Amino acid sequence: MMDKILSNYSASISEFKKSPTKILNNAKGESVAILNHNTPYGYFVPSALYEQFINLADDYLLGQEVEKRANSKNKTIPVSLDAL
């Protein structure tokens, strides 16, 4: 069974060690699958893409917390805008 490669670009660990700049330039800002014996070992992800992943994860977790609190059985406390 072959593992799915979740990237349009890939390189062996040996290739990546020899010329990382060349491989990253060829990927044009996209992720690169690093292969070990033709199996994905890891992914090199550009910093801008990593930042997007982190922001998506933060948004997802925040949404989970909002949903949890909206569905909680805790009593709400009415507050007038003047009291704020």
* Local confidence band at 22 (pLDDT 50, 70, 90 cut-offs): very high
The superfamily (CATH) of domain 9-70 is: YefM-like domain (3.40.1620.10)
* pLDDT over threshold 90, residue 77: no
Q: Supply 72's token pair.
A: 């909680």
Chain segment 41-50, per-residue pLDDT in tens: 999 999 999 9
Q: Supply 37's token pair.
A: 């014996």
Give the mean model confidence (pLDDT) for residues 8-30.
Answer: 94
Chain segment 30-42, per-residue pLDDT in tens: 999 999 999 999 9
- For the chain, the residue count is 84
Domain chopping of the chain, boundaries: 9-70
